[in-house]
Amino acid sequence: MERKAVKNLIIGFGKAGKTLAKSLARKGEAVAIVEQSPRMYGGTCINIGCIPSKSLIVNGQKGEKFADAALQKVNLVEKLNRKNYHMIADEPTATVIDGKARFLSDHEVEISREGQPAMLVEAERIFINTGARAILPSILGMSECKNLVTSTGLMDLQKRPDHLVIIGSGYIGLEFASMFLSYGSKVTVIDAHRTFLPRQDRDIAARVKKDLEEAGAVFKLGYEINGVFDRNEKSILNIMFDDQAEEIEADKILLATGRKPNISGLGLENTSVKIGEDGHILVNEKLETSAKNIWALGDVHGGPQFTYTSLDDFRIIESQLYGDKSRTLDNRGEIASSVFITPTLSNVGLTETEAQAQRKSYRLFRLEATAIPKSAVLRQSKGLLKALVDPDTDEILGATLYAEDSHEVINILSLAINAKLPYTMIRDHIFTHPTMSEALNDLFSNANEVKK
């Protein structure tokens, strides 16, 4: 067996791992990064996640045909995949190893490679960045069903399905619903939960649902899935609500029921790394695992699953190993999020429902998107903006922006929250015009009342 000794071994070419590999190489350190599939150089985000999905979403909004958008997506991903590979492979002290990694001990990793003998890598420090994978609920008949896909399979299609049935109304379910509606597919969304968007305020969730329904989506909430079978080229889903069974015929079925940490086949049982009950690698606030030479970064250690939190994990490692050790999971501040539907739904900090549950007093600000001049220019005036302010300190407690371009505007508010700026600073800030961000002047000028 070929053997290699290296100071730093990174398992998985994700956002945190590749950024760390580059940074270590720039310091002149020996680093090897192992990736199980050449299709995944650069990780989930650029190959099968954020970038291809947002490319298809944006091109759908522009009215492109699906086949053209699919081709543009392929070209974009290929370009980014190559760029990411070279970003690491071209560094003199870095090596990209193609293969699947499996721990033999805390310091030894076996890498199985297609068409080549396995390699044994011995490393001083090991960073696990293996991401997450789709949760596949057990549905009777699913293994024989030809049309059941995850988001990766759906984005590989060359032709849009006439009827797409989506199981799961979370991030992926809603983004793909919005995407395929824009290409003219009929879309049905099924979720086991009766409450739509349970973590959002009810007024916001109702708006989102109504807007998606107006765009053509059909929601079946609180449904159980009994089974699935193929009939000719189509698939039939057998679903049930309150003991009433019904059948839905689909051209494609998207499974979007969450993603779980990817530790399968990693051989963690051969190490002293501890695993949590839901299968994530247990880490402390410095991303250290229970093995003193092993760290875990990104989706694999549980918590929020975003590219930007994975990137921040890199910052924590950099701060802990090479910096002043000040950055940790505990002090990264409020993290914003956006669901890329039309218009985008973005959150940071507390929702009104959460503030009420915590019995916090708050000043509530609301603005209808119709009141924003730029939304008229964009001919997209659906939506509602909400913000909560602490009545004692004037600091912003949280915001929900359901409006065009809210994925950009929310970053102003997360910065304001983390910098502890009073809301009056944003109310009186001079924004360029006409922009969606200037709506924050009006949002925070609106009449409001203190709620206790």
Q: Which residues of the shown chain bind ligand NAD in the complex (CB under 6 A)? A: 137, 167-173, 175, 190-193, 225, 256-259, 305-306, 337-340
Q: Does 298 bind ligand FAD (CB under 6 A)?
A: yes
44 binds, among ligand FAD, ligand NAD, none (CB under 5 to 8 A by kind): ligand FAD
What are the backbone angles phi and psi of residue 286, rounded to the nearest 5°? Answer: -100, 10
In the complex with ligand NAD, the residue whose CB is nearer, 99 or 131, is: 131
Q: Which residues pair with 294 in a beta bridge?
A: 126
298 binds, among ligand FAD, ligand NAD, none (CB under 5 to 8 A by kind): ligand FAD
Task: Examine residue 434 and say whether the peptide bond preceding it is cis (omega within 30 degrees of 0).
Answer: yes
List the one residue from 101, 348, 388, 440 that touches ligand FAD (CB under 6 A). Answer: 101
In the complex with ligand NAD, the residue whose CB is nearer, 8 or 169, is: 169
In angstroms, give the least distance from the CB of 392 to ligand FAD: 33
List the one residue from 6, 9, 11, 291 that touches ligand FAD (CB under 6 A). Answer: 11
Let me know: does 313 contact 298? Beta carbons within 8 Å: yes
169 binds, among ligand NAD, ligand FAD, none (CB under 5 to 8 A by kind): ligand NAD
List the one residue from 147, 185, 307, 380 that touches ligand FAD (CB under 6 A). Answer: 307
How far is CA 353 from each of CA 9, 136, 349, 399, 400, rounded to the nearest angstrom? Answer: 44, 31, 12, 12, 11
In angstroms, give the least distance from the CB of 130 to ligand FAD: 4
In the complex with ligand FAD, the residue whose CB is nearer, 13 or 444, is: 13
Let me know: does 393 contact 387? Beta carbons within 8 Å: no
In angstroms, give the least distance from the CB of 129 to ligand FAD: 5
40 binds, among ligand FAD, ligand NAD, none (CB under 5 to 8 A by kind): ligand FAD
Q: What angle do CA 22, 25, 27 make, to 5 degrees?
A: 115
What are the backbone angles phi and psi of residue 249, rounded to the nearest 5°? Answer: -95, 130
In the complex with ligand FAD, the residue whose CB is nearer, 241 or 308, is: 308
Q: How far apart are CA 143 and CA 159, in angstroms?
A: 23
Choose the catalytic residue: 163, 193, 429, 433: 433
List the one residue from 6, 21, 30, 43 that touches ligand FAD (CB under 6 A). Answer: 43
Let me know: does 118 contact 98? Beta carbons within 8 Å: no
List the one residue from 49, 302, 383, 398 that touches ligand FAD (CB under 6 A). Answer: 49
45 binds, among ligand FAD, ligand NAD, none (CB under 5 to 8 A by kind): ligand FAD
35 binds, among ligand FAD, ligand NAD, none (CB under 5 to 8 A by kind): ligand FAD
Q: Does 131 bind ligand FAD (CB under 6 A)?
A: yes
List b or e across 13-32, with b for residues whose CB sees 16 or more CB atoms inside 10 angstroms: bbbbbbbbbbbbbeeebbbb
Q: How far apart are CA 409 and CA 329, in angstroms?
A: 24
Q: Which residues pair with 228 in a beta bridge?
A: 237
Q: Does 173 bind ligand FAD (CB under 6 A)?
A: no
Task: Examine residue 343 and say whether the peptide bond preceding it is cis (omega within 30 degrees of 0).
Answer: yes
Radius of gyration, CA atoms only, the chain: 24
For residue 285, the tally of other CB atoms under 10 A from its CB is: 13
Q: Does 45 bind ligand FAD (CB under 6 A)?
A: yes
137 binds, among ligand NAD, ligand FAD, none (CB under 5 to 8 A by kind): ligand NAD
Q: Assess whether 433 carries a catalytic annotation.
A: yes
List the one residue from 94, 253, 255, 266 that touches ligand FAD (CB under 6 A). Answer: 266
Q: Does 44 bind ligand FAD (CB under 6 A)?
A: yes
List the one residue from 37, 195, 272, 424 that touches ligand FAD (CB under 6 A). Answer: 37
Q: How far apart are CA 190 and CA 255, in angstroms?
A: 10
* HEC per residue, 179-198: HHHHCCCEEEEEECCCCCCC
Query: What is 11-51 written as a DSSP string?
Result: ES-SHHHHHHHHHHHHTT--EEEEES-GGGTTHHHHHHSHH
For residue 2, the tally of other CB atoms under 10 A from its CB is: 11
* Positions marked catalytic: 433
The site for ligand FAD (CB under 6 A) is made up of 11-16, 34-37, 40, 43-45, 49-50, 53-54, 100-101, 129-131, 151, 172, 262, 265-266, 298-300, 305-308, 310, 340
